[in-house]
Structure 1
Amino acid sequence: MPSDTLKSLVIGAPPPLDPAWVEYEQAHLTPAAPKKKTYEAPTAVERQRTYAQECRALHARMMGPEARDHELSKGIVKTRLTTTSTKDGATIPLLAYTREEDAEKDPDVVIIYFHGGGLWVGEVDSEELSCRRLALAGNHAVYSVGYRLMPEYLASVCVSDAYDGFETVRKRVGSKPKLVLVGSSSGGQLAAHVSQMAPAGSVDGVLLRSPVTSDVFSGREYVPERLRAYHTSASPAFITALGGYMKRAIPRDGLARMPLEADPASLRGLPRTWIQVCTNDTLYSDGVCYAIALEEAGVDVDVCVVSGWPHTFWLPVPSLDRALEAELEMVEGLQWVLAG
């Protein structure tokens, strides 16, 4: 049975959307507003390219001279690296972020970051604002992993690339710094997979932001029976302009299991885990149920609830005040896992 704290997070219906989000949605996401260009691209490759370009343009605006996040543009060294897939020898891009003042130092903390995008879109720099914020929070080295994407590649390739990126960074930095995995949405799925695959004791903390942990949308049988009563968000009431059901061509995108399906014995001994969830999100229960599963296995877990907001809203609309608060909560989550 989950603790009273986690049990209180199980909700049958979401709260009303926050007025600030409603205002944004009415101005930008109504049928009368211009459609998001990413999804007008006719092919998957073109959608991926368009999404990457949109992300870079958005980050440039947010870090411009007069922008709120201009400070994120300064004091960072970016280094492009690569590693090689153990599956087929393909090149996997990595992007490292460190503070200029720490360029000649060994990092105290190494963060391995997996971007979101449903395993369909996103590149190594698609969540640059978050990576920069984490790097500037201390003597941290942040490595973003640019895994290959569906549908050109199988989901198993996404997982394999993510793990190869992890292993490359782990061997590069050695055992001295603390190592933390971070991922948002499907990147949270990858971070959870990697945390379960990693050698015991090699990871010191995990941050999951609106993570995908199950394939409830292919059927409730893909949620472990002991957790089904707590998985309530796969409902039309939780659908928003930013998130509906993840419709997969085949269950689990062909993976043998999702992170939530790991048996309790394999979850024991996993590192301290911080999970951020948005209440108005069909994936809300994926995060809550994973927290329950970890707690049942004796893992130290903390859940940060963003009430009244949709799935990973801080990525498409980082200019909102609540988006900045969610980012700062992520930094506090990092401090929490490191304090364990």
Structure 2
Amino acid sequence: MSVNPLPPGMSAQPLDPQVAQLLDLVARARRPPLNALDVADAKIAYEKSASILDISPPSVHTVEDMTVTARDGHAIPVRLYAPREPSWTDPQPLLVYFHGGGFTVGSINTHDALCRRLAIDGECLVLSADYRLAPEWKFPTAAHDAFDVMQWAFDEAARLGADASRIAIGGDSAGGTLAAACAIEARDRGLRPVLQMLIYAGTCARQDTPSHRALAEGYLLTAEMIHWFFSQYLGRPEDRDDWRFAPLDGGGTGADVRGVCPAWIAVAGYDPLHDEGVAYAEKLQAAGVATALADYPAMIHDFFKMGRFVSAVAGAHADAAHALRAAFRERDREA
């Protein structure tokens, strides 16, 4: 008996039953997708909905809001989470985190619970950045804001109670794109992050991989939504070929990633971005960069923020935290 082969780009593992149930609930709710809304309304809708699927925000020792001055004088809001009391005699490792949202929606508030979880389980400070969003701020403003926050974190580590020799950078989705760009920029500036933690990050210039074609609709993040996000963010067609947007293949060959910090890359089997995440891991490995690929074949895009409904998310959170702790320990051993 012959078995019909799966179409290219489709996960070989069935969708997680709880994810399938969640997608059914979303479909029956008949709420318009973000790309069907006015941009201002989409921002509000995402803010309101972000906490519905996510875990309840766990308690941490302290949470402090402050600002970082960008290169153009703009005050970038940042939020610092401390899992224990900061000590300047016993500085803690630090994760600089960039939220997802297609460069258009999202904030430090929408990713509050996730950052708290990473601070607790990663045993580190977390600095979450509220970089400027489209369409008010076009490319490369978000990337510049990310670079400025990263540099500030290294410069001000001692004042924050952080260990400048144990700083990681990370983010999910568009925030993962920013984290990947930061890893390249850090190398060029002579900074030494211990890890780039890329959670279903966008890395390619054009959305034409097999997973983009096979998963274009039906799994929350659709081809139309991706196009809408990027139409808000990119001001010119040639922006797609800039490595700060497409480190995988921008301009044909993408960014030179030799000498960047080690990577932990998470991808989801039912995510249109799956294949570019795998390809970026392979690009890093080919350049001699220590890279771990964590593939969650039964998950969808944004699943890290669905822990209230999907029990398997807790395991992915634990994997990310383990990668952070291991990277911080490795730098300790090097020292």
Q: What TM-score results when the alignment is normalised by the length of structure 1?
A: 0.81
Q: Secondary structure at the match of 1:162?
A: helix
Task: Name the CA shift for 1:237/1:156 in 2 (closer, same or farther; >3 Å).
Answer: closer
What are the residue-to-residue correspondences of 1:1-340 with 2, within 5 Å? 12-15=9-12, 16-26=14-24, 28-30=25-27, 32-35=28-31, 42-55=37-50, 62-63=55-56, 73-86=58-71, 88-102=72-86, 106-137=90-121, 139-174=123-158, 176-198=164-186, 199-217=189-207, 231-237=209-215, 239-245=217-223, 246-247=226-227, 248-249=230-231, 251=237, 256-257=242-243, 258-261=246-249, 266-316=256-306, 318-340=308-330
Residue number in structure 1 paired with 2:333: none
- Decide whether the 8 Å contact of 2:173 with 2:202 is kept in 1: yes
Find the aligned partners of 2:88 and 2:144 in 1 and give their Cα distance: 31
Q: Deviations over 1:102-159 (max 9, x none)?
A: 4665433111000000001011222112211121135511100100101111020011
**Greater relative contact order (Cα 8 A, min sep 6): structure 1 or 2?**
2
Any unmatched runs of 5+ in structure 1?
1-10, 64-71, 221-230
Runs of 4+ that moved beyond 6 A:
none
Deviation at 1:234, TM superposition (A): 2.2
Q: Where in structure 2 are there 5+ consecutive unaligned residues?
A: 1-7, 331-335
| Length-normalised TM-score, structure 2 | 0.82
- Tell me the C-alpha RMSD between the 2 structures: 2.6
Deviation at 1:260, TM superposition (A): 0.8
Q: Percent identity?
A: 26
The 1:159–1:176 alpha-carbon spacing in structure 2 relative to 1, beyond 3 Å, is closer
Give the length in aligned residue pairs: 304
Q: Is the 8 A contact 2:165 2:192 kept in 1?
A: no
**What is the identity, as a one-letter code, of the residue corresponding to 2:180?**
A
Whether the 8 Å contact between 1:180 and 1:203 is mirrored in structure 2 is yes
Which has the higher mean CA deviation after the structures are superposed, 128-137 or 244-253? 244-253
In structure 1, distance between residues paired with 2:125 and 2:303: 25
Secondary structure of 1:29's match?
helix
What is the DSSP-based 3-state SS (H/G/I as helix, E as strand, rest coil) of the residue aligned with 1:216? coil
* Secondary structure in structure 1 of the residue aligned to 2:151: helix
Q: Distance in 2 between matches of 1:14 and 1:58?
A: 23
Residue matched to 1:228: none
Matched-pair contact (CA < 8 Å) for 2:60–2:81: no
Q: 1:102 to 1:91 in 2, by over 3 A?
A: closer
**SS of match in other structure, 2:305:** coil
- How far apart are 1:55 and its partner, in Å? 2.7
